[in-house]
Amino acid sequence: MSGTTGDIVLSARDVTKDFGHAQVLKGVSLDVHAGEVMCIIGPSGSGKSTFLRCINHLEDIDGGSLTVFGDLVGYKRKGDRLYEESERETAVKRERIGMVFQQFNLFPHLTVLENVMIGPVEVKGTPKSQARETALTLLERVGLRDRADAYPVQLSGGQQQRVAIARTLAMQPDLILFDEPTSALDPEMVSEVLSVIRDLADDGMTMVIVTHEMGFAREVADTVVFMADGNIVESGTPDEVMGHPREERTKQFIQEIR
């Protein structure tokens, strides 16, 4: 993993994002440090997932700046202006950023093993034998080595999400973004996915997790950020934000979900 613990991995400064006349992000600023687990909580429509998608330039930003490992993602600066960079330049930077989506986005025509291998082989040019060995190790890590030859349709939702995490890890990212990784799962499958993410946290992986699993956020996060209406209302340790919130809007949200 790149970066020394404490180094700033992700820096957002006054990030704004508009969809038509609606401003979804209204000047979001935060820093994520190497080895930190940040959980972003808040009501639906608060801009959490949009912010995550802006980090790796799946969405353009309309104002402010986002840097990952000191580099702008999706843009380059010339003088005082930002210009959109080529898709190829962005793709190179994205290799350091993994993303796990709500929907698993596995290739249905590929086996579990092939789904995990495809990124390193196609994007990084990793020899197939090496990619296969790494993929099997990662499937072991998420408890699915015995399903390597299965197809996604043969797996439960929780198993598919664990394959999606293994596929992300196969690209050896330095930062992983999780967008509500358990929201599409039946309740009994949630714990198996959270267990894998918990292990990654224990290993020191830098992660930003948008989640509605409050108990999990309290347990695993170094920093909890509460967002509402496109703004960061407050941030701090899990105990500060979830146990002793300062802002009325945060108190209201915490009371509603209890």
- pLDDT score of 184: 85
Q: What is the mean pLDDT of residues 156-166?
A: 96
C-alpha angle 249-252-255 in degrees, rounded to nearest 5: 150
> Over the chain, what is the mean pLDDT?
92
- Global pTM value: 0.92
Cα of 165 vs its chain's centroid, Å? 10
- pLDDT score of 2: 47
SS3 166: helix
- pLDDT score of 130: 97
Pick the closest to residue 36 from 170, 138, 176, 182 (CA basis): 176
User: Ramachandran region of residue 20, left (φ > 0), alpha (ψ -120 to 50) or beta?
Assistant: left
pLDDT at 48 over 60: yes
